[in-house]
Structure 1
């Protein structure tokens, strides 16, 4: 009987040791997984801000396009700086450097309505107001066109 009791206690001890080993392995696996996750999070935290992507909704993207797309009335003026360029001065006095203006409308003094996209971040050597990428032009008055006259 003593042998039977010792055998039961021995088996019981082995079972407890196996459970402890299994729980230790499980705890170690959890520790390793958590450590790896924490390391990834810390690596992201140290990444430069400009590399972090920020989601842009479709509404925000449309808002930017609507804001930058303008329709303006004014006069096309020829400026002789650096070989010459055509500028645009609105009825309110705002100044624009025109990009993509068709040769048909490159006339000094031509009064037009221009639809285009403003490019305030773009720089030119003209330094004459904001760059305006021309989308369409409607002639309002061609009687004020001045041929061969210098305008500064």
Structure 2
């Protein structure tokens, strides 16, 4: 008796799945004419033309400056991927410095740096966030290590 109910349930499940598959295939048979009719009916709600508002260069620069940060920390030299200068802020955040003047490329130099973080920028260094440096103020030179063997 149990096998009879099991066979009946299996046959019923098979029939239902076949019916569902056949309905899917009938929905797929939409012609190009039908698709054009569908797009014509929805065309009223869609914009006819993409319009971009012009932005002056001064406004673009102003938006970029708003993202500028100022922080204190140490410049360090990392001997990775040919060597690079990084910045570790007082709160422990790590940054790869881009646009750092040669004058400030000293391992152990304590500075206040201003710049714009570029979290979407990728580098080979993979050391924290990229920081585009705009200005540097030296705070302490007593911790500078001069015996770097950079190439």
Q: Shorter-chain TM-score: which interval?
A: 0.5 to 0.7
TM-score, normalised via structure 1 length? 0.59
Deviation at 1:43, TM superposition (A): 8.8
Matched, 1:109 2:105: no
1:87-117 deviation per Cα after TM superposition (whole angstroms, max 9, x unaligned): 0000000000000000000000000000111
Deviation at 1:148, TM superposition (A): 2.4
Could you tell me whether the CA contact under 8 Å between 2:65 and 2:116 is conserved in 1?
no
Asked which structure has the greater CA Rg, the reply is 1
Q: In structure 2, what is the equivalent of residue 135 of structure 1? A: 134
TM-score, normalised via structure 2 length? 0.59
Determine the C-alpha separation between the residues in 2 that align with 1:44 and 1:133: 43
Determine the C-alpha separation between the residues in 1 that align with 2:92 and 2:132: 18
Deviation at 1:61, TM superposition (A): 6.4
Q: In structure 1, what is the equivalent of residue 43 of structure 2? A: 42
Unaligned runs of 5+ in 2: 1-38
Alignment of 1:1-152 (within 5 A): 42=43, 45=46, 52=50, 64-65=63-64, 67-148=66-147
Q: Which SS does the other structure have where 2:125 is aligned? A: coil
- Judging changes above 3 Å, is the alpha-carbon distance between structure 1 residues 52 and 128 closer, same or farther for their aligned structure 2 residues? farther
Q: Which SS does the other structure have where 1:83 is aligned? A: coil
Bigger fraction of residues in helix = 1
Could you tell me whether the CA contact under 8 Å between 1:68 and 1:119 is conserved in 2?
no
Deviation at 1:68, TM superposition (A): 1.7
Unaligned runs of 5+ in 1: 1-37
